[in-house]
Amino acid sequence: GMVMSGQKIVDRGEVITNNTYRVLNSFDKEMKRRSSTQEELTTTIIGQVLFIFILVMLFTSYLSLFRKDYFDKPRSITMLYAMITLFPIFVSLMMKHNFFSVYIIPFAMAPIFVRVFMDSRTAFISHVTMILICAAAVKYQYEFIIVQLVAGLVAIYSLRELSKRSQIFITALLVTIASSVVYLALQLMQDNQVFNVDTSMYTYFTVNGIFLLLSYPLMYIIEKMFGFTSNVTLFELSNTNKGLLRNLSEIAPGTFQHSITVGNLAAEIANRIRANSLLVRTGALYHDIGKMTNPVFFTENQAGVNPHDQLSDLESAQIIISHVSEGLKMAEKV
């Protein structure tokens, strides 16, 4: 823990509590670090670099074996390696300058982003890699690793499908509770006494949970920065009372009803084969928006008169085919 200059740590005859023990242990390690020779420091750094290199290679091997397609998506790869790089940098800076506690850093934010934009397995593997790298710089590594791995697992499980803003709040609450319970369990295993538990840690866990709430606005920034599409965005796009879909219902009501029917059928099929039904349904809703350019030239919008009767076959074909390119132009403006 952090100790201010001149602050009393313990007096003669006082009982050594768990918090006092942590402070004394940190003091002992810091004194040893300061008294270390340049050769010892160099050896430590070499060991840390080698450890990090091995972890990064193992993570890359996982991607090569199970997620080869990510290497064809530069933005996905960039985000993954950014996550496992930025958090260890934050930890190193905090440890170097003794700035608060590393437990206020919302490590669970990283697997949340990877889970929402990619998949659960990659979210967990990247989280494990990131935490092990961070552990190379922290004190009480065993405690840190266990607490953060549990927090990451809870975050991934609770956000299996993000569709509402309230889910982020629930996730933050569950992560805070899980971290607190795991920390308490570890402390009881060591001390066997409740009153020796360092209660300041629960303040850090609470701050961590509050920071985790920032995942929602940051998710929008990452989505735009890396070109991802989250389920929240798909829900917004599938709202038939706004934007292009509202215009479609007014300009080409027949096409609108056809699109809803296709969307519902496609979503049901996607559910049966465990595909992303929300993505399929949203795509189906927009697949015919190009027909708004010439709605009466399509059967579902005709009221008896067929304008194709007055055109040549080539002209009719051009109008029908053009609804695809017209739809792409409209979609690009969304």
DSSP for 252-286, written as a single string: -HHHHHHHHHHHHHHHHHHHHTT--HHHHHHHHHH
Q: What is the pLDDT of residue 212?
A: 94
To 5 degrees, how large is the angle CA 217–CA 219–CA 220? 70
Rounded (10°) angle between helices 200-212 and 109-117: 30
pLDDT in tens, the chain (334 residues): 556 666 677 777 777 777 777 777 777 666 666 665 667 778 888 888 999 999 999 999 999 999 999 999 899 999 999 999 999 999 988 887 777 788 999 999 999 999 999 989 999 999 999 999 999 888 778 899 999 999 999 999 998 777 777 889 999 999 999 999 999 988 888 766 656 667 788 999 999 999 999 998 898 899 988 888 888 888 888 988 888 999 999 999 999 999 999 999 999 999 999 888 999 999 999 999 999 999 898 988 888 788 888 888 899 999 999 999 998 988 888 7
Reading phi first (left if > 0) and then psi (alpha if -120 to 50, else beta), residue 270 is in: alpha
Give the whole-angstrom CA distance, residue 117 versus residue 22: 39
Q: Would you call 176 helix, strand, or coil by DSSP?
A: helix
Give the whole-angstrom CA distance, residue 227 versus residue 41: 42
Q: What is the pLDDT of residue 64?
A: 94
